[in-house]
């Protein structure tokens, strides 16, 4: 779903569906009492883009009541709609209550808190990492050696190596934790 707007009688949405059988899809709409109209905007062998007018459904009403502003596009796959939203814990709890009250089946796939990059590294780590990046230390092949980087920063190579290692550890752990590739990994900070 790309966008949705309330109308006097319900909702107007623009949806792109991946399907090779548009006839079957629109036959379902023809038989659904909550769908008042639809218009095909574009179609090819793999997908169809259409505008649909229908009654507002319980999940959307619950989200609206909880004050949740969903982000678009939304994905609808195999009868499940995936919604991303930026919200507070209080509104998320209210959404859960609204879903339960409306008997809406739901599953929370993930709750994340964005990493504040300004708190990820110390000022010194930022300084050394920026200098290393600027001088090509992370290029392949390297634009400068650890010894050259240390000379530019006027410190010994082992100090630069230690600062970079700790910065790299924070960045890598934060990235892996954010992408959920390793269970149980503590976020830095």
Confidence band for 158, pLDDT divided at 50, 70 and 90: very high
Number of domains, the chain: 2
Confidence band for 5, pLDDT divided at 50, 70 and 90: confident
The Cα–Cα gap between 54 and 61 comes to: 13
Residue 113: its pLDDT value, please? 67
Other Cβ atoms within 10 Å of 31 Cβ, number: 8
Confidence band for 118, pLDDT divided at 50, 70 and 90: low
The Cα–Cα gap between 36 and 7 comes to: 12
Task: Specify if 188 maps to a domain.
Answer: no
Q: 122 and 94: one domain? A: no
At residue 90, φ and ψ (nearest 5 deg) are -65, -45
CA angle in degrees (0–180, nearest 5) for 82-86-91: 95
Task: Specify if 109 maps to a domain.
Answer: no
The Cα–Cα gap between 33 and 142 comes to: 65
Task: Specify if 111 maps to a domain.
Answer: no
CA angle in degrees (0–180, nearest 5) for 153-158-163: 65
The Cα–Cα gap between 45 and 184 comes to: 43
Residue 108: its pLDDT value, please? 81
Q: 85 and 128: one domain? A: no
Q: Containing domain of residue 93, as a range? A: 3-101
Residue 125: its pLDDT value, please? 92
pLDDT, one tens digit per residue, over 55-91 is 988 888 888 899 888 788 777 777 778 888 888 888 8
| In the predicted structure, residue 25 carries a pLDDT above the cut 90 | no
Which is more confident, 178 or 2?
A: 2
Tokens linked to 152:
């530019």
Q: 96 and 23: one domain? A: yes
- DSSP secondary structure string, 94-112? HHHHHHHHTT---------
Q: 97 and 16: one domain? A: yes
Tokens 């009868």 correspond to what residue?
A: 79
Residue 100: its pLDDT value, please? 93
Contacts of 19 (CB under 8 A, 6+ apart): 25, 46, 47, 48
Residues facing 42 on adjacent strands: 49
Closest CA to 16 of 25, 8, 7: 25
- Highest-pLDDT range among 46-55, 85-94, 169-178: 46-55
Q: What is the CATH number of the domain that holds 128?
A: 1.10.10
Asked whether 74 and 41 are in contact (CB, 8 A), the reply is no
The Cα–Cα gap between 22 and 17 comes to: 9
Task: Specify if 133 maps to a domain.
Answer: yes
């Amino acid at each position: 779903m790309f966008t949705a707007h309330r109308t006097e009688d319900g909702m107007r949405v623009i949806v792109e569906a991946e399907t090779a059988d548009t006839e079957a899809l629109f036959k379902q709409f023809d038989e659904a009492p909550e769908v008042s109209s639809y218009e095909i905007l574009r179609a090819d062998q793999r997908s169809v883009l259409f505008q649909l007018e229908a009654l507002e459904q319980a999940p959307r009403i619950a989200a609206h009541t909880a004050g949740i502003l969903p982000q678009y596009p939304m994905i609808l796959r195999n009868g499940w709609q995936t919604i991303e939203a930026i919200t507070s814990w209080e509104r998320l709890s209210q959404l859960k209550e609204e879903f339960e009250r409306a008997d809406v089946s739901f599953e929370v796939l993930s709750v994340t808190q964005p990493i504040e990059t300004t708190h990820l590294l110390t000022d010194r780590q930022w300084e050394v990492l920026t200098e290393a990046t600027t001088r090509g230390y992370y290029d392949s092949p390297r634009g400068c050696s650890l010894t050259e980087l240390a000379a530019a920063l006027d410190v010994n190579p082992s100090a630069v190596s230690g600062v970079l290692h700790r910065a790299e550890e924070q960045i890598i752990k934060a990235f892996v934790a954010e992408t959920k590739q390793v269970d149980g990994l503590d976020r830095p900070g």
